[in-house]
Amino acid sequence: MQDSQIIRTEYSDVMKKSYIDYAMSVIIARALPDVRDGLKPVQRRTLYDMHELGIRFDKPYRKCARIVGDTMGKYHPHGDSSIYEALVVMAQEFKKGMVLVDGHGNFGSIEGDGAAAMRYTEARLAKITQDAYLADLDKDIINFLPNFDETEKEPEVLPVRIPNLLVNGAEGIAVGMATSIPTHNLCEVIDAVKAYMKNDEISTKQLMKYVKGPDFPTGGIVVNKDDLPGIYESGTGKIKVRGKVEVEEMKGGKKRLVISEIPYTMIGAGIGKFLNDVCSLVETKKTSDIVDISNMSSKEGIRIVIELKKGADAENLTNMLYKKTRLEDTFGVNMLAVANGRPETMGLKKIIEHHVDFQFELATRKYQTLLKKEQDKKEIQEGLIKACDVIDLIIEILRGSQSVKDAKACLTGGKTENIKFKSGISKKMAAMLRFTDRQAQAILDMRLYKLIGLEIEALLKEHEETLANIAKYEDVLNNYDSMADVIIADLERIKKEYGRVRRTLVENAEEAVYEEKKIEEQEVVFLMDRFGYAKTVDTATYERNREAADAENKYILSCMNTGKLCIFTNDGKMHQIKAMDIPFGKFRDKGLPIDNISNYDSTKEQIAYICDSEQLRFAKLLFVTKQGMVKKVEGAEFQVAKRTIAATKLQEGDEIAAVDVVTDNQHIVLQSKEGYFLRFPAEEVPEKKKGAVGVRGMKLKKKDELAHAYLLEEGADAKAMHGEKEVALSRLKIAKRDGTGTKTRV
């Protein structure tokens, strides 16, 4: 048995090191793109695998399941869903500035529909991917690393010719950091790169003469143009994006708003949320000018139609949509990427600088490989040309040789000992031969038809071309301007073939100002039935239907339509509802479940008390719990803006039994489940803060709990029931708080 060594170390140090290693692994190997090719590892590996499988743009589509399986097995052992999701996003035109994968089948929609399963969809590389992302991989222009199990080689980075980080943007959440880079126009970015190459002292502001701002695939309007220079200088900031709204005239003088472009942030579930928000504006009476809304979007593009009433103010309604919905939204920019192996937040110029450095590195390695290849060709060509001049001697050497080794030794070193010559002159000439190894092998491999005159001319012409190529490649490698010209020419070609017009408008727009119609203040009656359906009606309607309303509804109270209602629940919470959020209408309208318009959850909470918020302003609230605790709280403590707050503090296992507005000249009667009644003056209950538990109001027997609390006015005749027996509360003797009370027998 081998001796084992125990290493003692501080546990916190081990945890710290392990967490840092994990965080860096997520940052570098998963979540953040590389500044050089603008790709995350999963994207890079998927594209390279498609290239290796030969799924080119001019070849048939292949099943996505095959691509995902091959990528996972060779390069990316992190689960098939992450690979397929990356593949799908690279094929979605509404998410990428330049689509990198040509998808065939259901790859999802802009409205948030997911792609079909990978066994149903097919894909192949897009033409630009093959042309500008994967070209020249055979020219030793990038480093290859071992894959996770060291059975394959994968590229450290793809030789991308365009600033993909800007063109396609990026989104990713790492550990403690996140990246969010908007998409940009290919033509503008290429122009900015060319400008930087001609003058590396150029400022960000000057670069923005070329890069106007983000160019989202969904179009839209960037409305804070003046903020962009600061954002592109620092690499962080907020871009305000609006949807494009057009006003169309209809028959009868009516108008309709047509949304043809949406903010990039609205992709997916945001469209459905927008439609719901518009409906909510109508339901809550924020506007009465919208007649109908319909989503007519198709493969041709977005078309959301909002029909308006005759005489409606279209401009005011458009501003309302900008203010009240996500038709105007914020895109948070954080241009974070991996540069030189470390995460770094970069501005526009820094990203372009990294890209240009990478292009010079690619071009240097490419032309070094090409130069070496041409120099090898030159060596062989010169040997063949020289051989043609002494072809008779070479034939004599070959015929007089006993082996290829002897012939090669003669051609390279002039060794004639083992070769038979016809004459001494031939032997002397053969001794003077000094071909290189490559030249000698080419001569030995040469076929006789190469001696035809035309073939010799072709060889001489090819040699001239080789010399020209060598001169060209050496010029490119030795001259910065020549290499820059080559890179710029390549960018121009890509721009010409794949460039498109800008989709997003960049401007300085005025803040959307929406003038809300002033609501006419009036008194209404809140009605809620035992099923939790709530509505408000005007007081005249209530008076006309008073008998039916009292019989059908559990909670009835008057309030102002501009006020708020407070709902106190058994778990010690207070929920607020704006009266305007409660449907106002006819007496026979069903109303809305109270759960839908508040944070109250009828499946978990029971209502103890409902009152008008204004009623609490100068009042005091009595809180009574099932464990017999009581307290008074100033109503002003419940004048808050939050929709839900803790109304009181409860002991473990306790619940609120009753809440009501109380005055000091009233009497309180507490009733327990076992039939004990205790009456005492309300002034004996101390006033506490809402965060206090309170004091004991009644001593309860074991397993007994409070069931009801009543407030008695002086001289009032009130009754309560215990079982089938009626108890006259006004006849109960007045005792002190914290007593056991009087037992009532059934």
CA 14 to CA 659: how far, in whole Å? 55
User: What type of residue is 320?
Assistant: M
Going across the sheet that includes 122-125, the strands are 62-63, 122-125, 101-104
Which one of the listed residues 19, 22, 120, 480 is annotated catalytic? 120
CA 680 to CA 697: how far, in whole Å? 9
Residue 148's CB is within 10 A of a number of other CB atoms, namely 12
Max Cα–Cα distance, the chain, nearest Å: 152
Question: If residue 249 lies in a helix (H) or strand (E), which one and from where to where?
Answer: strand 244-249
The bridge status of strand 620-625 relative to strand 629-634 is antiparallel
The tokens describing 118, both together, are 């990978």
Taking the alpha carbons of 581, 582, 584, 589 in that order, is the dihedral positive or negative? positive
Active site residue 676: no
CA 251 to CA 504: how far, in whole Å? 31
**220, 518 in Cβ contact below 8 A?**
no
Q: Scanning the structure block, which residue is given the tokens 């290829």?
A: 404
Task: With CA atoms as reference, report the closest residue to 162 among 192, 130, 186.
Answer: 186
How many Å separate Cα 326 from the centre of its chain? 15
**411, 517 in Cβ contact below 8 A?**
no
Q: Scanning the structure block, which residue is given the tokens 């390069």?
A: 75
Task: With CA atoms as reference, report the closest residue to 552 among 566, 562, 542.
Answer: 542
CA 84 to CA 473: how far, in whole Å? 41
Give the residue numbers annotated as catalytic, written as ranges: 120
